[in-house]
Amino acid sequence: MAREITAAQRKAVGKYEKENYDKVLVRMPKGKRETIKEHAESQGESINAFMLRAADETMERDLEQQKNHSNSQK
């Protein structure tokens, strides 16, 4: 049986999240969220974990491409 979350617990969680996390609002076309959710779940991830992984992998790839581009300019 699930316990009720108290107002004090909600407040503590809110304070912790405010101190430790940034929030980002992402707008996307209707239906895209469900597509992302299904894919994330198929990988055993939450939407949040998938979005973070996608951002990290994209930034890593972009940096590698920039590095390769600057090396080819020499």
24-50 pLDDT, tens per residue? 999 999 999 999 999 999 999 999 999
- Write down the mean pLDDT value for the chain: 95
Q: How confident is the model at residue 2 (pLDDT cuts 50, 70, 90)?
A: confident
pLDDT (0 to 100) of residue 72 = 82
Q: What crossing angle do the helices spanning 47-72 and 32-42 adopt, rounded to 10°?
A: 90
pLDDT (0 to 100) of residue 71 = 84
pLDDT (0 to 100) of residue 54 = 98
Tokens 């407040």, residue located:
11
